[in-house]
Structure 1
Amino acid sequence: MFTATIHFTQHRECILRRLTASADAPFPIEIEEIQNGFVTFVLCAGEHADAFQSELEATDHVEHVERLDEENLLVTKPSCGAYSAIYRNHGTLRRSNTVSGRQREYNVLVFRREDLRRIIDDLEGFGTVTLGKLEPFEASTDSPLTARQREVATEALARGYYDWPRKITNEQLAEELEISRATLHEHLRKAEHRLLSSALADGHRRTGRGAFERIEVDTGD
């Protein structure tokens, strides 16, 4: 797996391009969902939140605008193509993506270099791409998963294996990972067990044979 920073100059018209063009600094954007050609994201608009909200609500093709707090807007609109290009080629957007007029910075997790190449090829169809930092992905040292378990579980999550209804079958996922279905299920089973055990251990104690019971905390009331 690799993490890549992609600098992208958007050539298509986009409401975000118009909103952010005159600002002094880029705006953080976090992608929540891409579905049926629409993208849902949180835009950290800061002091521009009121103006951005009014503009977005007045734009016909923007499907939904919701004020989350003083600085953040939840927006659903048709994708201009970049996010679809990333997810279609098995990339996953990480945090700290930004938008500033025509300029975009995407921090992407990919499993294979050829996936990154396809992402760049698709983006070049409607913009200019510069590849920034590219480095092997290293899992956190306190992760309960092995590197391979993390890779398989991350791919399953990114490809919609855990969505309902599922966006990819176990056969398709195993084929993309170039492993057997039995190996896929073994990696996912172990990953799920470790993640659940780690999560349940917070505020619980192990009672034996992998079971947990809640720890009652005395608050002094």
Structure 2
Amino acid sequence: MFLATVHFTQQRECILRQLTADIDTPVPIEIEEIQDGFVTFVLRAGPHADRFEAELDAADHVRHVQRLDSDNLLVTKPSCGAYSAIYRNHGTLRRENTVSGRQREYNVLVFRREDLRAIIDDLEEFGTVTLGKLKRFRADSDSPLTDRQREVATEALARGYYDWPRKITNERLAEELGISRATLHEHLRKAERTLLSAALTDSAGRSTSDQFAPTEP
């Protein structure tokens, strides 16, 4: 699993490009949900919140804009292409990214280098891409999970499977991971039990559920 910082110059017209074109510092965006070609995100507008809200509200293609507080807006709008390129190639956006006119910075989690290459190839169809930091992303090496359990649990968490309401169904998650629903549930069940057992270790250093632990084949 890898964590990549992708710098992208957007060539398509996009309302975020218009909103931030004259702002000197990048504007943070926190991704909440991507579904059916629409992206929902929190726009950290700061002192520009009033203008951003008015322009977003006036745009016909923006599905929803809501003022969360004096500085932040919750926005749902069609993806301009970048988010779709990332997700259809098995990437996951880390929550915080930035926009500044045509410039974007995305923090992308991928399982394989080939997935990252495919994301870059798709993005280059409508913009210019520069790869920044690339590092191997792993949970703590002392993790009690197997590599596959950790991968599946990480993806489930990143895709909103554990949110309420869930942002992705078990059928869709299993399909995107290339496994059956039964296999998905088996990986998650074992990961959840292992992590809960580790978290409930008593003061003597022994898991409170050791006596019930099944013997793995």
TM range (shorter): 0.7 to 0.9
Which amino acid in structure 2 is aligned with residue 15 of structure 1? I
Distance 1:101 1:183, change over 3 A: same
Q: Secondary structure at the match of 1:168?
A: helix
Gaps of 5+ in 2: 212-217
SS at match of 2:172: coil
**TM-score, with length taken from structure 1:** 0.79
Indicate the residue corresponding to 1:62 in structure 2. 62
**2:170 corresponding residue in structure 1:** 166
Name whichever of 148-157 and 159-168 sits farther off. 159-168
Of 135-144 and 187-196, more deviation after overlay is shown by: 135-144
Cα offset for 1:173?
5.4
Q: Distance in 2 between matches of 1:23 and 1:98?
A: 12
TM-score (norm 2): 0.80
Partner SS, residue 30 of structure 2: strand
Confirm or deny that 1:92 pairs with 2:92. Answer: yes
Alignment of 1:35-114 (within 5 A): 35-114=35-114
* Whole-Å separation in 2 of the counterparts to 1:161 and 1:167: 11
- Separation in 2 of the partners of 1:37 and 1:182? 28
- Structure 1: segments with no counterpart, 5+ residues: 212-221
Identical-pair percentage: 75
For 1:55, give the aligned amino acid: E
User: Is residue 10–residue 128 contact of structure 1 (8 Å, CA) maintained in 2?
Assistant: yes
CA RMSD of aligned residues (A): 2.9
Query: For residue 9 of structure 2, what is the aligned residue in structure 1?
Result: 9
Map 1:117-136; keep pairs closer than 5 Å. 117-136=117-136
Q: In the aligned structure 2, how far is the partner of 1:51 from the partner of 1:122?
A: 32
**Against the structure 1 CA distance between its residues 169 and 60, is the aligned structure 2 distance closer, same or farther, given a 3 Å change threshold?**
closer
Q: Deviations over 1:139-172 (max 9, x none)?
A: 24686645432212123455676646434264x4
Q: Does 1:150 align with 2:150?
A: yes
TM-superposed CA distance for 1:11, in Å, is 0.3
Corresponding pairs, count: 203
Partners in 2 of 1:107 and 1:187 — Cα distance?
26
Pair 195,72 (structure 1): closer, same or farther in 2 beyond 3 Å: farther
What residue identity is the alignment partner of 2:5?
T
Q: Superposed, which structure 2 residues align to 1:173-192 within 5 Å?
A: 176=178, 184-192=184-192
